[in-house]
Amino acid sequence: SEEFIRRSEKLSLAGELAAGIAHEIRNPLTSLRGFVQLYMKEDMDGTKKLRNEIMISEIDRINEIVSELLVLAKPSNEAYELRDIVNELNKVARLFEGQANLYNVQIKQEFDNHLPFINCQRSINQVFINVLKNAIESMPDGGEVIMQAKQMKDEICIRIIDTGYGIPQSEINKIGNPFFTTKETGTGLGLMVSMKIIQNHKGTMRFESEVGKGTMVEVILPIVK
Ligand code: ADP
Ligand code: MG
């Protein structure tokens, strides 16, 4: 209906506006970061070390929030292409090899052979990045992440299972709410962005968790869009 069209037009306008603002914030931030780094170099005796490090980390935090908002603003007009989801998952796993090693986390991959390609946007990667990042962050003393992908009729089911600290029942419904985080330096935007991307792909996202045991994140994507 006309009302629906007007609504989605407004929504994509809001997205463009958000993307525009995000870029406008990024440029001066990059310049600020450069100057703070210069201060750090000039601080020979290190008396301003802590202050400068705090400035850098605060700038990085703003950058992180802006990046996440940018993903949220962008995906609507990004092209859909046939992609090998196993290849995408592999790339994401490799991205986290260093961090996983650092925290004694083993990443295991269990993918069915010959999975059909999926019609999806490049930003689908961001979902697996956000979910795998959470999984690793939930295991500060090490553990295991299993990444699975299998076909179920006309859908592909992707699961990322960790042996981390888990999510209390009372919090599971808050997941994906903007700025919901239980982490000291979390943004609480990762899963909101991920859910939005999966929704754009007409897929679903589900969480199962037990405190002290671990969490399973399940993403189901249709094979034909
Ligand atoms: P952030 O990671 O910045 O906190 P997210 O949107 O990625 O934001 O996640 C929101 C919250 O959901 C986290 O702060 C955490 O409480 C919970 N969470 C998400 N994934 C996991 C997981 N694998 N294990 C435990 N808690 C999780
Ligand atoms: Mg996160």
pLDDT digits (tens, 9 = 90+) for 178-196: 889 999 989 899 999 899 8
Structure tokens at 103: 């925290």
With bands split at pLDDT 50, 70 and 90, how would you rate the model's confidence at 67? confident
CB-count burial class (<10 Å; 0-12, 13-18, 19+) for 132: buried
Average pLDDT, the chain: 90
Structure confidence at residue 74 (pLDDT): 65
- Select from 191, 192, 217 the residue to mutate for testing ligand 1; criterion: most ligand atoms less than 8 Å from CB: 191
Tens digits of per-residue pLDDT, 35-59? 999 999 999 999 999 999 999 999 9
- Kindly identify the ligand whose nearest atom is closest to the C-alpha of 205: 1
How many angstroms does the Cα of residue 133 sit away from the middle of ligand 1?
9
> From CA 164, how far away is CA 144, in angstroms rounded?
8
HEC string of the chain equals CHHHHHHHHHHHHHHHHHHHHHHHHHHHHHHHHHHHHHHHHHCCCCCCHHHHHHHHHHHHHHHHHHHHHHHHHCHHHCCCEEECHHHHHHHHHHHCHHHHHHCCEEEEEEECCCCCCEEECCCHHHHHHHHHHHHHHCCCCCEEEEEEEEEECCEEEEEEEECCCCCCHHHHCCCCCCCCCCCCCCCCCHHHHHHHHHHHCCCEEEEEEECCCEEEEEEEEECCC
pLDDT value, residue 76: 65
ipTM above 0.95, yes or no: yes
Query: Which residue, by CA, sits nearest to atom 23 of ligand 1?
Result: 135
Ligand 1 surroundings by CB, under 6 angstroms:
130, 134-135, 138, 162, 164-167, 175, 180-183, 186-192, 215
Question: How far apart are the CA of 12 and the centre of ligand 2, in A?
Answer: 25
pLDDT exceeds cutoff 90 at 208: yes
- Check residue 75 and give its pLDDT: 57
Taking the CA of residue 185 as reference, the ligand 1 atom at the shortest distance is 3
Q: For residue 162, which ligand has an atom nearest its CA?
A: 1
Which residue has the least CA distance to atom 14 on ligand 1? 181
| pLDDT band (50, 70, 90) for residue 71 | confident
Q: Look at 75 and 221; give whichever has higher pLDDT.
A: 221
* pLDDT interval class at 93 (50, 70, 90): very high
Distance 41 CA to ligand 2 centre (A): 32
Residue 78 burial by Cβ neighbours in a 10 Å radius (0-12, 13-18, 19+): middle
Least trusted range by pLDDT, from 12-26, 88-102, 156-170, 204-218: 12-26
Dist CA 60 CA 49 (whole Å) = 16
Ligand 1 midpoint to CA 207 (Å): 11
Q: How far is the CA of 131 from the centre of ligand 1 (A)?
A: 8
Q: Which atom of ligand 1 is nearest to the CA of 186?
A: 3
pLDDT at 148 over 80: yes
Q: Which residue, judged by its Cα, is nearest atom 8 of ligand 1? A: 188
7-44 pLDDT, tens per residue? 556 656 666 777 788 888 988 999 999 999 999 999 99
Binned at pLDDT 50, 70 and 90, residue 69 comes out as confident
